[in-house]
Every structure is written in structure tokens, then in C-alpha cells.
């Protein structure tokens, strides 16, 4: 009898176990599963958003920002531009020049003034004012910056400094976009020298010219350019992450320097009197990355839309380019010179991107611009 009781007890135990397992099994309803996936998706998107968003700029003069050491003007929209004056005083100057700096530089890095001889400055009566472009140095960032806004900033700077109705503009490297902008929006106010600056989406250029210039860039720089044009919201992440190579210029890659560029940079860095200006203390996004977004973004025009702003021969446009420039391929500027015969084109044999710093070049550039000396 006891044995039967044991068998019954075992059977009862197994039955009880099966019922327990059945009652404790848990099934997710389709609706609940969708909610979990939705929450995960939103979380991933929030994480991605945080990764691709740059930190807020450290405004100059704010508690965590760089100090204010330069004179500044206040623009109509409330922003400030920091500037620096060179040469003879503006009130006695015969020629007044606004200099627009290039990438990763600022108001102290005035290429044409750095090697311009004192004799030329005094002989011609040259006054040069340089300024930190928005987000660089001690100038406030401009999150709404466009190609056109740069011309408006230059016009305000000239007005507030009392430069008069006629002044000259020199734009170097990416600062050249400001020169194109001035020729478009304030052509009656200036005579101009243009240093190279190009975008690979100007609509009036033949496809073969654009492709030839674009293909001279390295693969990694081609991707940087594509991202800046097609997905500007990714520019910060692309140039700060480590999965893909960022801009060669941002990475200080010497492969983009010509032999002349390397010689010039070596000579400059060895000089004890060379000025090193911190230019991205307010943040790289509103300076370096903003440059990439604007130059490779959508322009309202391209150079081939422009007519001669100085048909009365009271001004001239000069375009200079080194034929061994690896940073800005010469192809597109050659084409511009062919299509716009009113531009005085100077192609420097053996010149790299830093050719204006070569011995004697600043004197030649300034004399050609101001007195038409070839």
C-alpha cells in the first residue's frame, strides 16, 4: 500500500510541475513588443543626435570663453567682429585694403602684410585691416552664415572704420569666397584681388571641369566635401570621429603640401618672430566646420554669373593661383579666367597654396592690384 502511495505521489508531483510550468510561461503580445522596439529606436536616435551635435560655442568674453584683447565693432545683428590694422594710418592712406583670412587662421595671419616690404607700404601709402571671420579668434560666431552674409559683414566693417566708398578686398584661400560675394552683392564698393576658393557644385561649370578638379582631391577629402554638401548636419561628427579619415587640412597632413609649401612652412615655423594666433578657442564647429558647410553649400550664384563690375576701368579683379597647389586644384580657376576675360589672371609657376609667402610675392601682388604693375 505504501508503494502505491509513492507512485501516486510521484505522478501527482509530475502533474503539478507541468501545471506550474504552463501557468508561469510568459508571452509578449505583438503590441507590447512594438512599444519596446519603438522605445529602443527613439533611444538610439537620441544617442545619435547627441553624438553628431557639437558643443555650444564658448563665446569670447563669456565666463568659459577666451578673453577679449582686440578692438571689435558691433554689427547690426548684434555680433562683433575683431580686427587688426596694419601699414600707415587709415586717415593718411592712399590705398585701403580689407584682408579676408583663410582656413585655420585669423586677423594676425595676414599673408600679404607679413612679407610686404616697409618701403612699398610707405611709398604707396597702404593701409590694411584684417579681421577674424565669424567664429574665428575673437569674432562672434554666425550660425546663420551664408556666402552673402560675408559681404555684408565686410561692408559694415568698412563703413564703421570710415574707409570710404572705395576700398580693396584681398581674399586668400577659403577667404576668396568673400571676394566672390563682394563682387556679387557690393560691386560698386571695391576693387579686388582674388586668391583661390572653389566649390565643386557651381552650376554653370561643365561637368568635365568639375570632375577633373574634384578627382585631384584625395578620396578622404572627397568624402569630406560630399558630407559638407549633402549632409551638413554630419560635418562635426565626420571630422571628429575616428572611424573614417577627416579632412587632410584639419589633420595637418603634409601630403597636401607642394614642395614649395613645405619649404615655406619650414621657414616660417623656424622664425622666432612668427605670430601664432589661437583661432578656434570658441569651438571648431563655428569656425572650421562652418567654413566647410558654407563653401560647399548651396550658393545663390557662381562666378560665371558675374559681369565686369568695373567696365569703366576704375577697378580691376585679379586672380592669382600657384600651378602646383594641391589644396585647391587650379583647374576651376583656370576655367574662370578663360570665361571671364576681364579678370587679370596670374598663374605662378611652381607655386603651391602658400605662394603669397614666397620671397617678393607680396610686393608683386600689392603693386599689381594697386598700380597695375605686372
Is 87 within 8 Å of 127 (Cβ atoms)?
yes
Q: Give the count of alpha carbons within 13 A of 281, CB side only.
A: 18
Q: How confident is residue 23, by pLDDT bands cut at 50, 70 and 90? A: very low
Q: What is the DSSP letter of 173?
A: G
Q: What is the pLDDT of residues 242-292, one digit of tens each?
A: 888 888 988 888 899 999 999 998 887 766 555 567 899 999 999 999 999
- At 78 the pLDDT is 96
Q: What is the pLDDT of residues 85-131, one digit of tens each?
A: 999 999 999 999 999 999 999 999 888 888 899 999 999 999 999 99
- At 32 the pLDDT is 65
Say which residue the cell 576700398 belongs to. Answer: 167
List the one residue out of 307, 342, 333 whose CA is nearest residue 184: 307
Reported in sequence order, the residue ranges of the chain that DSSP labels E, i.e. its strands, are: 72-74, 80-87, 95-100, 126-131, 167-171, 190-194, 317-322, 343-348
Q: What is the pLDDT of residues 170-212, one digit of tens each?
A: 999 999 999 999 999 988 766 665 556 789 999 999 999 999 9
Query: What residues are paired with 130 via a beta bridge?
Result: 84, 99
Cell of 228: 559638407
Q: What is the pLDDT of residues 71-85, one digit of tens each?
A: 999 999 999 999 999
Q: How confident is residue 371, by pLDDT bands cut at 50, 70 and 90? A: confident
- At 144 the pLDDT is 94
Q: What is the pLDDT of residues 342-353, one digit of tens each?
A: 899 999 999 999
Q: How confident is residue 49, by pLDDT bands cut at 50, 70 and 90? A: low
- At 223 the pLDDT is 93
Q: What is the pLDDT of residues 137-174, one digit of tens each?
A: 999 999 999 999 999 999 999 999 999 888 999 999 99
Q: How confident is residue 7, by pLDDT bands cut at 50, 70 and 90? A: very low
Domain spans in the chain, listed from the N-terminal domain onward: 72-371
Q: How far apart are CA 109 and CA 104, in angstroms?
A: 10
Q: How far apart are CA 368 and CA 349, in angstroms?
A: 17
Query: Higher confidence at residue 54 or residue 41?
Result: 54
Pick the CATH number of 72-371 from 3.40.50.1820, 3.20.20.70, 2.60.40.1930, 3.40.50.1100: 3.40.50.1820
Average of per-residue pLDDT across 310-328: 87
- At 6 the pLDDT is 47
- At 25 the pLDDT is 54
- At 4 the pLDDT is 45
Q: Which of 56-60, 132-136, 363-367 bottoms out in mean pLDDT, i.e. has the lowest?
A: 56-60
Amino acid at each position: 500500500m505504501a508503494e502505491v502511495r509513492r507512485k501516486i505521489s510521484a505522478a501527482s508531483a509530475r502533474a503539478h510541475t507541468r501545471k506550474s510550468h504552463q501557468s508561469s510561461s510568459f508571452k509578449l503580445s505583438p503590441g507590447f513588443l512594438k512599444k519596446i522596439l519603438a522605445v529602443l529606436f527613439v533611444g538610439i536616435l537620441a544617442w545619435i543626435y547627441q553624438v553628431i551635435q557639437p558643443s555650444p560655442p564658448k563665446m569670447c568674453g563669456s565666463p568659459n570663453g577666451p578673453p577679449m584683447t582686440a578692438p571689435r565693432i558691433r554689427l547690426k545683428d548684434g555680433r562683433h567682429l575683431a580686427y587688426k590694422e596694419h601699414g600707415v594710418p587709415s586717415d593718411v592712406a592712399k590705398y585701403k585694403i580689407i584682408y579676408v583670412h583663410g582656413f585655420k587662421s585669423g586677423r594676425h595671419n595676414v599673408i600679404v602684410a607679413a612679407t610686404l616690404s616697409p618701403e612699398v607700404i610707405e611709398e604707396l601709402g597702404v593701409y590694411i585691416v584684417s579681421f577674424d571671420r565669424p567664429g574665428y579668434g575673437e569674432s562672434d560666431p554666425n550660425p546663420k552664415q551664408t556666402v552673402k552674409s560675408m559681404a555684408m559683414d565686410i561692408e559694415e566693417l568698412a563703413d564703421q572704420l570710415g574707409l570710404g566708398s572705395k576700398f580693396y578686398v584681398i581674399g586668400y584661400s577659403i577667404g576668396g569666397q568673400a571676394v566672390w560675394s563682394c563682387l556679387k552683392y557690393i560691386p560698386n564698393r571695391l576693387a579686388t584681388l582674388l586668391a583661390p576658393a572653389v566649390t565643386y557644385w557651381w552650376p554653370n561649370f561643365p561637368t568635365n571641369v568639375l570632375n577633373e578638379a574634384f578627382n585631384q582631391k584625395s578620396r578622404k577629402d572627397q568624402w569630406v566635401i560630399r558630407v559638407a554638401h549633402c549632409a551638413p548636419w554630419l560635418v562635426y561628427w565626420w571630422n571628429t570621429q575616428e572611424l573614417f579619415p577627416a579632412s587632410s587640412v584639419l589633420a595637418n597632413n603634409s601630403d597636401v603640401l607642394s614642395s614649395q609649401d613645405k619649404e615655406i612652412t619650414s621657414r616660417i615655423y623656424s622664425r622666432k618672430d612668427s605670430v601664432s594666433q589661437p583661432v578656434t578657442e570658441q569651438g571648431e564647429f563655428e569656425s572650421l566646420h562652418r567654413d566647410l558647410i558654407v563653401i560647399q553649400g548651396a550658393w545663390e550664384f557662381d562666378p560665371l554669373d558675374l559681369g565686369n563690375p568695373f567696365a569703366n576701368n576704375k577697378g580691376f579683379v585679379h586672380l592669382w593661383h600657384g600651378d602646383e597647389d594641391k589644396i585647391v586644384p587650379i583647374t576651376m580657376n583656370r576655367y574662370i579666367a578663360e570665361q571671364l576675360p576681364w579678370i587679370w589672371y596670374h598663374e605662378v609657376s611652381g607655386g603651391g597654396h602658400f605662394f603669397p609667402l614666397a620671397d617678393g610675392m607680396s610686393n608683386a601682388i600689392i603693386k599689381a592690384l594697386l598700380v597695375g604693375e605686372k
